[in-house]
Structures are given as C-alpha cells and as structure tokens.
Structure 1
Amino acid sequence: MDVSTFYALFSATCFTLVGLWWNVVQRHEGWLHTAAGRRDAGGVYLSFLLPALMGLFAQVGGTTDPGVWRTTFVVVAGVGCWSTLHLLSRSRRNGSAGSLARPRGVAAVLYALVAVLGVAPVLAEPFGVTPLQAEAILLVLLVTLAHWLVWEFMTHTEPADDAAEA
C-alpha cells in the first residue's frame, strides 16, 4: 500500500474513533462528574485524536516536504507523551492508576519513539523502511494501544473520586 493512501485511511479511521468515543462518553455521563473521570475520558480521546492529527500532517508533508511531518510528529508526540505521563503520575499519586497504568506507560514510550524518529529519521534505515513507514508502524501500535486503554477503562476501572485527589 502506498504510504500516502495509508495515512489517508489511517487518519480518517482515527477521527471516526474519536467520534465513536464521544458517543460512548455521552452514554456514561457519570464519567464526567469528577475531574478524574474527565481526565481519564480525555486521555482516551487524545489517544485517538493525536494519531489522527499526525496522519493528517503526514499527508500534508509526505515525502515532498519532510520538514512538515517531522516537525509536527515531534510536537504532537511531545504533547502525547507529556499528557500521558501527566495522567499516569496523577493517577498513581491518588491511587487510581489500576489497570490503566500499563497501557499508559507503553503509550508514553511509543510517543517518545515517534518523536525520536521525527528528530532522527535515519534511525529507520537499518529496518529497511522509510521514516514515514516506520512512523506508520508506531502509529498503528498507538491506536492498538488506545483500544486496549478503552477496554481497560470500560471494563476494569471506575473514575476516581475527586476526594481521593486531595
């Protein structure tokens, strides 16, 4: 598959998943009654939105202007890594990390790898793929991880009580 076609399909799929997540959250209004619940639901939302944005920027820059995709991947992955670590830190501090800790930890590592590859695309060469193909693999892993996060969020956790955050 052409990498441009992949990114077009990938980002459309991720934006669809964002919309589906909004519908799930609307059906579970209790998640939004606490700050911790809003943060957790927002973290899942970002796990679909950020890869979607990177997919769009890959289409804009592509192989004709690698500076565009490289810069935006580094910035967006930085936001993803920071927000994921922030969520993980807060939930560990208040004792509510539970089953969300492992997927969040893996996500932070994947975001860091996306950023590193954006800064140093030559790191893809030993694997026999282009930098955009390597990034695509990492983004697929991020979205797969987002599905794991959704599963854990919906089946194994209850959003933390705001009183536990104090």
Structure 2
Amino acid sequence: MDVGQFYAAVAGINFTLLGLWWVAVTERRQLREGGPRVRRMAYTVSLQFLIPGALSLLAQVAPDIAAVWRTAFALAGALGAASILMLSPAVARENEMTRRGARLLRIFGIPLYLLIAVYALIPFQGMSLTPLQIEGIMLSLLVFLGAQTAWTVGMATPPDSPQALDDQPRVG
C-alpha cells in the first residue's frame, strides 16, 4: 500500500471515530455531567483520536521531506504522552469508569507516544520497512488503543447506577 493512501485512510478513520466519540459523550449523560474529572477523561479519549488523525494529515504534507514529518511525529508523540501524564492522575481517582481508561492510557499510551517521538528523532536502521511505515504501525496501535479506551470509558457502568452498586465488592 502507498504510504500516502495509508495515512489518508488513518486520518479518515480517526476523525470518524472522533465524531462518534463526541456523539457518545453527548448521548451518555455520565460522560457529559459526571463532574470535571469525568469530562477530563472524555477529553483525554478524544485526544486519542484527534492526535493520530492530525498526525496522519501532517504525514501526507511532505512525506519525502523527512524533517517535516519527523518534526510532526516528535511533537505529536510528546504532546500525546504529556496529555496523558497531565490528565490521567486526576481522572484515575474519580471512579472505576475513569480509572480503567486512565490505566489503559498510562500503561500502553505513554510508552507508545514516547516511542513515536523518539523514533521520529532517532530512527533505528536495519529494517526492511521505511521509517514512515514503522511510524504507521505505531500509529495503528494508537488507533486500536484509542478505540479500546473509548469502549472502556463509554461502556462502563455509571458510578451511581444500581448495577455499579451490585458490582462493588462486598465486605463481610
């Protein structure tokens, strides 16, 4: 597959997922009205689609000029890791819904974003894939992680529902 076509597809997928996430936030009351920490988690999830989508657009601007796409990938990797680091501690303390999403992003998202940034700055050699193809693989993993995080956060039982109370461990 042509790298330009790949990044065009990834951009389209990410912006579609971002739009669907915004619909989910609008439709699921607990994401919209669950307090500042829950809203931060919803925003953090939206960044998991926005950053890779924007990055995919930037990768198409000048794929033959390494300085352009390398700068974009390095900045996006740093921005993605920083956003998770800044937002996840507060949301992890809110409830199980946000705790699971924050855990997923801290365990998998931060290392993946940092790997994207580092590889953009210092590409290792000796592989049959081009650096832009390797970045594409990592970007695909981010799309998967974003979808998993959106599912985890969006489908979690609201903390004040009867089902959530049934799921709590019983003491005694």
Contact 1:61–1:67 under 8 Å retained in 2: no
Q: Kindly state the Cα deviation for residue 85 of structure 1 after the two structures are TM-superposed.
A: 1.4
TM (norm. structure 2) is 0.83
Task: Report the CA distance shift for 1:139/1:157 in structure 2 as closer, same or farther (over 3 A).
Answer: farther
1:27 aligns with 2:27: yes
Counterpart of 1:38? 39
TM (norm. structure 1) is 0.86
The RMSD of aligned alpha carbons is 1.8
Task: Report the CA distance shift for 1:159/1:130 in structure 2 as closer, same or farther (over 3 A).
Answer: farther
Q: 2-side partners of 1:55 and 1:7: how far apart?
A: 5
Counterpart of 1:117? 119
Letter of the 2:36 partner, please give it. Answer: A
Q: 1-side partners of 2:20 and 2:141: how far apart?
A: 19
Counterpart of 2:77? 77
Unaligned runs of 5+ in 2: 161-172
Contact 1:47–1:143 under 8 Å retained in 2: yes
Q: 2-side partners of 1:18 and 1:24: how far apart?
A: 10
Q: 2-side partners of 1:136 and 1:66: how far apart?
A: 14
Counterpart of 2:8? 8
Q: 1-side partners of 2:159 and 2:13: how far apart?
A: 27
**Structure with higher helix content:** 1
Counterpart of 1:163? none
1:138 aligns with 2:138: yes
Q: Kindly state the Cα deviation for residue 73 of structure 1 after the two structures are TM-superposed.
A: 1.0
Q: 1-side partners of 2:74 and 2:36: how far apart?
A: 28
Counterpart of 1:68? 68
Q: Percent identity, aligned pairs only?
A: 37
| Structure-to-structure mapping, 1:90-129, within 5 angstroms | 90-92=90-92, 94=93, 96=95, 98-105=99-106, 106-121=108-123, 123=124, 125-129=125-129
- SS of 2:126's partner is helix
- SS of 1:156's partner is coil
